[in-house]
Amino acid sequence: MILEGIVTSLNEFDQVNVAPMGPFVDEAMTTMRLQPFKTSQTYQNLKRSREGVFHVVDDVLLLARSAIGQLTSTPEMFPADKVGGVVLKSACRWYEFEITEFDDSQDRANLLARVIHFGRLRDFFGFNRAKHAVVEAAILATRVHLLTDTDILQQLTSLKTPVKKTAGPSELEAFELLERYVGEYFKRK
């Protein structure tokens, strides 16, 4: 099963990279398979350190901003317990992991990770159609270079309905941010 969340990793200067990622996870959350693109900072960091932190979050504005590289400020964090990394204070749960298998022979690396420590900060907000729509829109925004303009616009249009019907202020802001990002990308093409 794929679980969408956020991975934090450190570069060689201990600078934090915050990136959305949907690893394949087992139900017990003891292992995960991450597949970062080899052009990403997450890939570079995990290749170097072989460790990171996966976060289960319900803050879709943070997810959207990190997906398109528009974090306006560094999220609040604290040091991880068992890996050289950081935990997002706004996360619901976190999973510290170490890479046990590293295959980068394809365009997307295939990394098997073992969870070595985890923690819980708060309850998950719950299911909301707007939050799910923003997650899907964020995934689309990261694939503007892979999909056709028509496909992206059709999917964004269909995602807008649940956002209009069920969103709070954070979801509205996140969706509008992603729509602007996609629109600006199309103008630059």
Here the CATH number for the domain that contains residue 152 is 1.20.58.290
Statement to judge: residues 38 and 114 lie in one domain: yes
What integer pLDDT is reported at residue 107 of this predicted model? Answer: 87
pTM as predicted: 0.94
- 52-94 pLDDT, tens per residue? 999 999 999 999 999 999 998 999 999 999 999 999 999 999 9
Can you tell me the mean pLDDT for 126-148?
95
Q: Residue type for 50, please?
A: R
The pLDDT, as a whole number, for residue 157 is 96
63 plus 146 within the same structural domain: no
Q: Are residues 39 and 113 in the same domain?
A: yes
What interhelical angle do 169-188 and 60-67 show, nearest 10?
10
CATH number of domain containing 62 = 2.30.110.10
The tokens for 70 are: 């528009």
pLDDT of residue 189: 76
136 and 79: one domain? no
Strands 77-79 and 51-56, how do they pair?
unpaired
CB 114 within 8 A of CB 26: no
Number of domains in the chain: 2
Q: 116 and 162 in one domain?
A: no
What integer is the mean pLDDT of 94-115? 97
Domain housing 163: 129-188
> What are 143's strand-pairing partners?
none
Co-location of 134 and 108 in the same domain: no
Asked if pLDDT for residue 131 goes beyond 90, the answer is yes
57, 140: one domain: no
Average pLDDT, integer, range 94-112: 96
What's the mean per-residue pLDDT of the chain?
Answer: 96
Question: What's the confidence (pLDDT) of residue 35?
Answer: 97
Residues 100 and 147 in one domain: no
pLDDT band for position 163 (50/70/90)?
very high
Domain boundary among the residues 120, 141, 176 is at 120
Same domain for 106 and 56, yes or no, is yes
